Amino acid sequence: MTARTATRTSSTRRAATSAITGACSCRARWRSATRARCEGGNVKACIAHGQKIVSHGRQRGAALAVGLILLTILTLLAITGFGTATTELVMAGNEQYRKNASQAASAGVEEAIERIGAVSTVASAPPTVFGPSPVGPAGTDEYVASVRFAGVETGLPQSSVDKFVGLHFVIESTGTSRRGASETQVQGVFVVAPAAGGGAESYGRLGSGLGP
């Protein structure tokens, strides 16, 4: 029993040794064959073998470069998207403030029309200024309106001659809001007034505004 076991063990060892020796001999033969090709003048085989090794290294380097380029592109896209969103937000705010300034200017025109009876009708008189006056619940918007007398028109059509005259006024209202938003509106006003007593004097007795 012991002899058989020893025989099997020695056989197994010899087989393993033969396999290792065979593998080593195969590698040695492959290396020697490659050297023989190179030394024997088979330059193409040597070059092809070297190109395979170099190509594997180049592929790994190219993959790394492509990955870095894609990462850079994604970073630039993210930065561009963030910048675009910020710009659109600022533009939306500016548009809202511009609308607020426009509404403030319109409010100035309305007040000037309501108080146009207080404007002097002397040609050389300076413009009458109303404001600055705040507008809106927050009071951050305001307007300044100025009214100047532009002249008198006589002989109005479809009216009794020398009984009525037309008074021309020019209103210029400027509304302002946040972020420097500003808008100026110019409005012309034509008022029919009695010509008795010089026209302007009778018109001045109408009181504030165009109402009764």
Express each pLDDT in 125-140 by its tens digit: 888 899 888 887 777 8
**Is residue 9 scored above 70 in pLDDT?**
no
Q: What integer pLDDT is reported at residue 204 of this predicted model?
A: 45
* Mean pLDDT rounded to a whole number for the chain: 73
Q: What integer pLDDT is reported at residue 35 of this predicted model?
A: 56
Q: What integer pLDDT is reported at residue 196 of this predicted model?
A: 56
Q: What percent of the chain has pLDDT over 70?
A: 61
Considering only residues 98 and 201, tell me which one the structure prediction assigns the higher pLDDT.
Answer: 98
User: DSSP 3-state assignment of 7?
Assistant: helix
**Token digits of residue 167:** 């008074």
Strand ranges, E, within 25-112: none
Q: Where do the structural domains in the chain lie, given as residue ranges?
A: 2-68, 97-204
**Is residue 211 scored above 80 in pLDDT?**
no
Considering only residues 43 and 209, tell me which one the structure prediction assigns the higher pLDDT.
Answer: 43
Residue 154's nearest CA partner among 143, 146, 166, 145 is 166
User: DSSP 3-state assignment of 194?
Assistant: strand
Mean pLDDT of the region 40-58: 53
Dihedral pair phi/psi, residue 132, rounded to 5° = -70, 140
**Token digits of residue 180:** 């420097």
Global pTM? 0.53
CA dist list (Å): 123 to 113, 163, 169:
19, 21, 11
Express each pLDDT in 155-188 by its tens digit: 777 656 667 788 889 999 999 998 888 899 998 8
Considering only residues 207 and 120, tell me which one the structure prediction assigns the higher pLDDT.
Answer: 120
Express each pLDDT in 96-116 by its tens digit: 889 989 999 999 999 999 888
First to last CA, the chain: 138
